[in-house]
Structure 1
Amino acid sequence: MVKIYPFKAVRPVREEAGNIASVPYDVVSTEEAKEIIEIQPNSFMRVIRSEATLPGVDPASPEVYDTASKNLNSLIEKGLLMQDTEPGIYLYRIKQGGNIYLGFVSCVSVGDYRADLIKKHEHTRYDKEEDRTKHIDTTNANTGLVVLLYRDSGDIYSYVNSLVPEGTPDAVARDGSGVVHELFRISDPRILTELEEIFSGVDSLYIADGHHRAKSSVNVAEKRESEGRMTSESDRFMAVIFAEDRVKIHGYSRLVTDLGKYNPETFMAEIKTRFEVKEYGEIDDTVFRIPPLKDFKIPIHTIHMYLAGKWYELSAPVKNPEDVIASLDVSVLQKEVMEDMLGITDPRKDPRLQYLGGARPLADLKVRVDSGAFAVAFSLQPVKVESVLSVADEGNVMPPKSTWFEPKLLSGLVIHTLE
């Protein structure tokens, strides 16, 4: 059974929330972070990508992490961020087009992560782990959110939704796409206790996004424990928690720089020995998903490929539907095309392979291939949320970049300090 904990958040004063909140650190480059800071001098990007304020400095140098801490403290000293005097949980609501996503921010237990009550579905990379470990330890704070999911019995989400107060949120911010992010603080001890009791009956939580932030928080707890400076807050990390049926998953597109030993004609000839191939024709490239040409009565892999100016649909029967990982489209694409044909055996490191988030329009793939920067692109259908949870339950991991979860959250609206 999992534990959740209210905490005394550091957060923007209401009138500054829109100026401070920023996209997460891992979706922008240093140069893009610098541009954001130039437009919004008080952006939280100063904390999560502090190297953007230090021209010419190695992003892994101690100065970067020290500056992140100084920039965080500066926002507090200026009165732009304040800390709540009593613990609370924080309802996080996102209005995106016609969709409304609602979760809540609380702390969760490092012990639950270690005991696998907080389940994972992907591997972490050491370099990213090391970076966030240093960042959390030096700033003494969780500055980014881990996104967790729970299986809802049917009553939990309804209860959380009932907690949304009428009136003005405690924070409102809009991202570059016009998506509205709202935060509501809940501090009634009776409600906090009831929510904790509800989650004591939840068997597991599942990481949807933020594997590196979660593992880095665990690393910091272990480091502080070994150094004799452990606190109760260091043994917890901040997360936003959603019902599993209240999020969306998109596919994650692949781009490959070259065709290896093939040219477009021979590449296509080899593809046809592995898949049934049909030319797709015109597509709406303003959307981010290509619908299959037809529905099949048996499980079918369906992958869309852009090669030499044309879109194609690749299909093949799923050989073993009971094997959740092998039955994923991304798995057959990796084995049949990336490994066997192109020699890309490590999709986590190979520089020939690049990824594009699933909520990006298909035009982004087309432009990159047409420019000559890439030779071929693949667009994948979304994985079902239940498949992700099943993989985690089995103790397995998904292939890299299998899932693009929505909603995407902002950083800087709520911060958890470790002391």
Structure 2
Amino acid sequence: MSLIKPFAGLRPAPGRAAEVAAPPYDVMSTAEARTMVADRPWSFLHISRPEVDLPEGVDPYGAAVYERARANLATMIDEGILVRDPQPRYYVYRLTMGAHRQTGLAVTASVAAYENDRIRRHELTRPVKEDDRVRQIEALGAQTGPVFLVHPSTPAIDDRLEAVTRRDAPEVDITRADGVRHELWSIAEPEPIAELTAAFEALPALYVADGHHRCAAAARVAARRRDAMPNQDGDTPADHFLAVTFPHTQMQVLDYNRVVRDLNGLDAETFLRRVGEVFEVTPSGAPVKPVRPGQFGLYLDGAWYLLAIGVERIPQDDPVARLDVSLLQEHLIGPILGIADPRRDERIDFVGGIRGLGGLTARVDSGEMCLAFTLFATRIEDLMAVADAGAVMPPKSTWFEPKLADGLVSHLLD
């Protein structure tokens, strides 16, 4: 079975993409989603966050929510808002955010390759979130949120995609309220489809950047269908999951910073002294945004400090332990602030770099949090090294921008 396959995508009808396209389902609260769908009857949030059409306080994991998603999808198809392409194809998907641009390919990726670690993961998943995606896929008979994949950059793929964007006008060209431009081209001709399929087949692996729960859910749905129909050939639509894959050289990974509620019973002077036993601590008259690995910014009591950890403390032979998020946790957040499990401890929170340094200082200055840390952004090569080692990254290690839109192309399983 090939690593990727073309598919007949379900897409907004011509001229409807701006009405349909929505942010990923998991980047907003229910209240925010309700605001976003006001006066937008065809927003894809009616499918990805269907609780917006039910009374406030409804259980977002209740049966009524998935049933509403199914009904809303059927309505959008019946009304001609969403239309399925007549034959399988690939879709070139370009994202532009300011001066940054990345060009990838929307595909269906092999569940078997995911299960056999040729599509490599780097995060743990939470059962409740997996269960939610399983129920969503089964209710819809479709995968609607693409997994964000990364492939090792190669001219055999990347040059072909660029050639498509130079040759043809995009079939979809919209700029959303956040300023991100989304463009889509389709490739339906047999020869370029075969060439792209072969070029991906030659790669050693693909990497999950974002969407671990969607991958895991797709694998569970595929397994259920195989159990129910054991005579299948293993190459049905459910044996593949919706994804967009981008070259690793085009990824924009932002910093993922930390705020902490208290000093673990220490006063500021004692805390800084203990930090200074491990890090070089330098007061800074300006906000600190680290410019290299091993540097950290600390904001405490209205003042900024630059922290630097010695090279001798960085284990270069361990792809997880050498990450900045691991070094900060191992040498400061754990032993000094007493937060052993940042995945579950409510004293710590995480702030994506898209919110800027002001998103950190505001939470400290308000008194909600006591201190903040800024980190150098995790490099995509480090993510790939962790995945290649079969290891797991610490929680909240990467923040990818820009985000894919939901609704521009979906994968029907039936």
Query: TM exceeds 0.5?
Result: yes
Tell me the secondary structure at the aligned position of residue 37 of structure 2.
helix
1:153 & 1:174 partners in 2: Cα distance?
28
2:298 & 2:71 partners in 1: Cα distance?
47
What is the CA-CA distance between 1:163 and the residue it aligns to?
2.0
2:308 & 2:89 partners in 1: Cα distance?
50
Is 1:341 aligned to 2:345, yes or no?
no
What is the CA-CA distance between 1:18 and the residue it aligns to?
0.6
Q: Which residue of 2 aligns with 1:130?
A: 131
1:305 paired residue among 285, 294, 298: 298
The sequence identity of aligned pairs, in percent, is: 39
Equivalent positions of 1:20-419 (< 5 A) are 20-55=20-55, 56-164=57-165, 166-228=167-229, 232-283=236-287, 290-292=289-291, 301-318=294-311, 319=313, 320-419=315-414
Which amino acid in the other structure matches residue 139 of structure 2?
T
Question: Is this contact kept in 1: 2:156–2:199, CA < 8 A?
Answer: no
Which amino acid in the other structure matches residue 264 of structure 1?
A
2:267 & 2:53 partners in 1: Cα distance?
45
Q: Which digits, 9 at most, give the CA deviation of each residue in 1:350-395, with x for residues without a partner?
A: 2221111122211111111100111111111012211111111111
Which amino acid in the other structure matches residue 387 of structure 1?
D
Question: Is this contact kept in 1: 2:238–2:413, CA < 8 A?
Answer: yes
Which amino acid in the other structure matches residue 362 of structure 1?
L
Which amino acid in the other structure matches residue 400 of structure 1?
P
Question: Is this contact kept in 2: 1:13–1:80, CA < 8 A?
Answer: yes
| TM-score for both structures, normalised by structure 1 | 0.93
Tell me the secondary structure at the aligned position of residue 112 of structure 2.
helix
Tell me the secondary structure at the aligned position of residue 332 of structure 1.
helix
What is the CA-CA distance between 1:240 and the residue it aligns to?
0.3
Identify which range, 379-388 or 146-155, moves more after superposition.
146-155
Tell me the secondary structure at the aligned position of residue 373 of structure 1.
coil
1:264 & 1:71 partners in 2: Cα distance?
54
Distance change in 2, residues 1:263/1:233 (3 Å): same
Distance change in 2, residues 1:346/1:291 (3 Å): closer
What is the CA-CA distance between 1:133 and the residue it aligns to?
1.3
1:236 & 1:131 partners in 2: Cα distance?
19
2:111 & 2:22 partners in 1: Cα distance?
26
CA RMSD of aligned residues (A): 1.7
Q: Which digits, 9 at most, give the CA deviation of each residue in 1:155-201, with x for residues without a partner?
A: 32112211225454222222222111011111011111111111111
Aligned length, in residue pairs: 408
Q: Which residue of 2 aligns with 1:286?
A: none
Q: Which residue of 1 aligns with 2:9?
A: 9
Identify which range, 264-273 or 372-381, moves more after superposition.
264-273
2:345 & 2:45 partners in 1: Cα distance?
29
Tell me the secondary structure at the aligned position of residue 206 of structure 1.
strand
2:222 & 2:166 partners in 1: Cα distance?
35
Which amino acid in the other structure matches residue 17 of structure 1?
A
Query: Structure 2 unaligned runs (5+)?
Result: none
1:22 & 1:120 partners in 2: Cα distance?
25
What is the CA-CA distance between 1:254 and the residue it aligns to?
0.9
Which amino acid in the other structure matches residue 363 of structure 2?
R
Question: Is this contact kept in 2: 1:165–1:184, CA < 8 A?
Answer: no
Identify which range, 346-355 or 23-32, moves more after superposition.
346-355
| TM-score for both structures, normalised by structure 2 | 0.94
2:367 & 2:323 partners in 1: Cα distance?
29
Query: Structure 1 unaligned runs (5+)?
Result: 284-288
Which amino acid in the other structure matches residue 290 of structure 1?
K
2:223 & 2:362 partners in 1: Cα distance?
46
Identify which range, 335-344 or 133-142, moves more after superposition.
335-344
Tell me the secondary structure at the aligned position of residue 156 of structure 1.
helix
What is the CA-CA distance between 1:99 and the residue it aligns to?
2.0
Distance change in 2, residues 1:265/1:39 (3 Å): farther
What is the CA-CA distance between 1:23 and the residue it aligns to?
0.5
Which amino acid in the other structure matches residue 356 of structure 2?
P
Which amino acid in the other structure matches residue 170 of structure 1?
E
1:362 & 1:413 partners in 2: Cα distance?
32
